[in-house]
Structure 1
């Protein structure tokens, strides 16, 4: 099968979308499928033997730490040259708009996948008035596809309620070889705590952005001098967070990848995830695979991964002090951290990426089967 994947974000950027795409591409490539990736041009032109065709990328005035590509006729040129059997537009917003337009114009079967709750983010950037318009825009794009995919049951329910058509659940996955408790190292722990390995290490991995609500962890650090917070990632909110945590036991590592990231996961004690805007929260599963119990804000996608009191804890974001109480009770030994760690690892053990990738291939085959080709156009049968 010849597959074009059009994405708003790709390497060297790192987030849950890029992680999922990289694992998917590796699996599809190993099965003998031909793949082309179309993405913002960030200097990466090949991944795992797969060509990455770039579209010029630009900074947006309200998001200065990441480059985005706008709709471009290059997308049409790349598609026409490759002649795919299926086009998969990932998280369509800007570049993805061209992917959807040209896939339909050229008559290629089209799948779109939804990964980011952009409309919900509007509240954190004082743009709440635009939420209805954002939902209308994304619904219009997604409903041009034969099939839509999302990554949690909670999001599927919301998309159905908002009249997105033909929505299917694309299963989550994790790299169980990379993320493992066996990667724990005392020297890594010493480094990330600036020489205080005896502290209880709280870990957050992800974008440093306003919608992640990372500053909520400040009250936890203020309540105990025995805690150390490690923030892995970068983003537009970093300077605000550095100011917020300036007198606290905190390490900002910037982006980490591969083995370096896996070692930090495994060398920490508790994963803390305050965000309520996730469509999945892939880092939750990476933390569990590394043997970390997760303390997360109670939200639909988090509930799908965390069994409260077994492999982690859910706190109520609207209940003052609940996050602090949950973290301190876990760190103090009031809850059995070792048992929760083992349960967290067990949660991830059957969720390797091969199942999710094989499922995606099945979706591709379904979408192709639903389209009859006519020169220059198509129709649903």
Structure 2
């Protein structure tokens, strides 16, 4: 099968979408399929001999810290030249509009997947009037696809409420070989705690953006001087975050980590922090669990699906009536912490990437079968 993937984000970017894509592409290639990736050209133009077609990235005036591929007729040329059997548009927003438009014109199965809960960012950026416009924009694109995918049951239900067409759940996964508690390393722990390894080491991993709600951890850290937060990642909000946390001596900013270094950082920590309530899933939650970490997460639909409160982690209320400080205090019960660590690790073992990647291929093949049946039906009528 020849598969065109039009995606708003790809290498060298580091996020959950790219992680999922790489795992899926690896599986598809290993199964003998031919892959084209159309993505913003950010300098990485090769991955496992796939065909890469780059789109010139540009800065979006409302989000100047990151470059995006914009709608372009060039995508039509790329698609027609590759002549795919199926088109998958990942997270359509900007250039994904062209992926939807020209992918549909090819007459092959068109699949779209929803990964970023952009309409919910409106409240965080204090533009609530924009939420219905964003829903309209994303619904208009996704409803041109034959089939839509999303990554959690809570988001699936919300998309159904917003009248998205034919939505299916795409299972979550994690690299169960890379992330492992056995990578725990005392020198890494010294580094992340800036020489205070006896403190409770809390870890955050992700893109540093306003909507990640990392600032909400400040009151807890002010009160819990026996805890230390390591923030792994980078992004447009890092400079402001460093200013906001500057009065604290129990916070470390490390910048990006990758590969074994990142896996070691996970394994060397005591608990994982997930303060965002706007995620469609949060693959880092499974990475933390696979590393033997209980997850302390702000309660929301997608996180409630992944974190079993008191078993694999702890859920807390965010906002003005939040209870994060009291929730973190529960980690002082070392027996509870160890039990949650073991259960989190055990839970993660069922979520390797093979399952979600195989599911995606099954969806592709089913879409092809449906399209063929439709064409045969039309020919019979004629």
Q: Is TM more than 0.5 here?
A: yes
Post-superposition Cα deviations, 1:287-313, rounded to whole Å, max 9, x if no partner, equal 000000001011110111111100101
The DSSP-based 3-state class of the residue aligned with 1:128 is coil
Q: What TM-score, normalized to structure 2?
A: 0.95
Structure 1 residue aligned with 2:315: 314
Deviation at 1:321, TM superposition (A): 4.7
Q: Does 1:223 align with 2:223?
A: yes
Given that residues 148 and 168 in structure 2 are in contact (C-alpha distance below 8 angstroms), is that contact kept between their aligned partners in structure 1?
yes
Q: Does 1:362 align with 2:336?
A: no
Structure 2 residue aligned with 1:8: 8
Deviation at 1:266, TM superposition (A): 0.6
How far apart, CA to CA, are the structure 1 residues paired with 2:26 and 2:113?
Answer: 18
Given that residues 174 and 285 in structure 1 are in contact (C-alpha distance below 8 angstroms), is that contact kept between their aligned partners in structure 2?
yes
Given that residues 279 and 301 in structure 1 are in contact (C-alpha distance below 8 angstroms), is that contact kept between their aligned partners in structure 2?
yes
Deviation at 1:316, TM superposition (A): 1.2
Structure 2: gaps spanning 5 or more residues? none
CA RMSD for the aligned pairs? 1.8
Residue correspondences, number: 377
How far apart, CA to CA, are the structure 1 residues paired with 2:374 and 2:200?
Answer: 63
Given that residues 329 and 335 in structure 1 are in contact (C-alpha distance below 8 angstroms), is that contact kept between their aligned partners in structure 2?
no
Q: What TM-score, normalized to structure 1?
A: 0.96
How far apart, CA to CA, are the structure 2 residues paired with 1:123 and 1:253?
Answer: 29
Q: Does 1:268 align with 2:269?
A: yes
Change (3 A) 1:11 1:45: same
The DSSP-based 3-state class of the residue aligned with 1:264 is helix
Post-superposition Cα deviations, 1:134-169, rounded to whole Å, max 9, x if no partner, equal 101111100101100000000000111111111000
How far apart, CA to CA, are the structure 2 residues paired with 1:161 and 1:374?
Answer: 28
Structure 1 residue aligned with 2:98: 98
Post-superposition Cα deviations, 1:333-375, rounded to whole Å, max 9, x if no partner, equal 2661111100010111011000000000111112112224999
The DSSP-based 3-state class of the residue aligned with 2:129 is helix
Paired residues for 1:312-351 under 5 Å:
312-318=313-319, 320-330=321-331, 332-333=332-333, 336-351=336-351
The DSSP-based 3-state class of the residue aligned with 1:370 is helix
Given that residues 265 and 290 in structure 1 are in contact (C-alpha distance below 8 angstroms), is that contact kept between their aligned partners in structure 2?
yes
How far apart, CA to CA, are the structure 1 residues paired with 2:204 and 2:290?
Answer: 15
Paired residues for 1:280-291 under 5 Å:
280-291=281-292
Question: Where do 4+ consecutive residues of structure 1 move more than 6 Å?
Answer: none
Structure 1: gaps spanning 5 or more residues? none
Structure 2 residue aligned with 1:187: 187
Structure 1 residue aligned with 2:259: 258
